[in-house]
Chain A
């Protein structure tokens, strides 16, 4: 990804110097040309076309915001319930994510969405222990996290 961004910047600067007009417009036009060339030759460069990855990053951010709003509402509902009949518990989430960054990101996303809190990561980094405030069904919760956050993170990193 870094190589592609550098290449794109080189093309943009080259275009600006060749046309001898130094402005935002010329630079942007050169950058668009570079983007187009990279898109055209995307099988020639190592890694996938980098706009695709940026698109996945934006999607991950939007997914996080959506989950944040949704789970905040469910917490508000729990708080204002007259009778406290919640079922708290700690469950284990097996994860396929391997690198340090991926696991950290997943754990932080779980913590930041209210209702769940990542407590610890197992020694071999293959499991995350999560405390949930109200958990009627463990399997559904695990599946929910795996389908949303883990999948989105995997799309970004590989």
Chain B
């Protein structure tokens, strides 16, 4: 069936990418300015929900063939491993550190282990949000 939601479909193809780009910015901005794993994950989830709303289940399930339940476990595991990792350096649980690195082209970059923890939060938030929304939407 051909539906007449042409404008929605065309703009979604563009806006979904802009939303995803913004969510990645929010994720990386978290250290020094407003943002972080939670809001970045929510923004990513909202972009994916927009795609689901526009194109329907069957199409997007082919586009993103992930199981979002696994994303929750993956995120929790990342956060846990980051926390446990501090034991390897004889530090208490959840100790974090950062350092400045000089990478060619990018210049001076500050890398913190807190970002790995944030990545865990990010993945968990995406997984939880999409699992909730999709399981409610699929329920008949």
Contacts and interface: CB of A to CB of B under 8 A. Distances in A.
Given A14-B18, A14-B22, A19-B29, A44 B105 contact: no
Contacts of B107: 23, 25
Nearest to B109: A25
A28 B107 CA distance: 12
Contact of B106 (A19, A29, A40): A29
Given A19-B29, A25-B107, A45 B21 contact: no
B105 A30 contact: no
A69 interface: no
Nearest to B62: A43
Nearest to B24: A33
A18 B22 contact: yes
A153 interface: no
B105 A11 contact: no
A7 interface: yes
Interface string B1-44: 00000000000011011101110110011000000000000000
B41 to A, nearest CB: 15
A14 B21 contact: yes
A109 B8 CA distance: 45
B48 to A, nearest CB: 10
Interface string A1-29: 00000010011001100110001110011
Looking at B21, B22, B107, the one whose CB has the most chain A CB atoms below 10 A away is B21
Question: Which one of A7, A15, A23, A44 has the greatest number of beta carbons of chain B within 10 Å?
Answer: A44
Contact of A25 (B28, B51, B106): B106
Nearest to A17: B25
A41 interface: yes
Among all A-B residue pairs, the 8 with the closest Cβ atoms: A25-B106, A11-B21, A43-B63, A44-B63, A18-B25, A33-B24, A37-B20, A25-B107
Interface of B: 13-14, 16-18, 20-22, 24-25, 28-29, 51, 62-64, 105-107
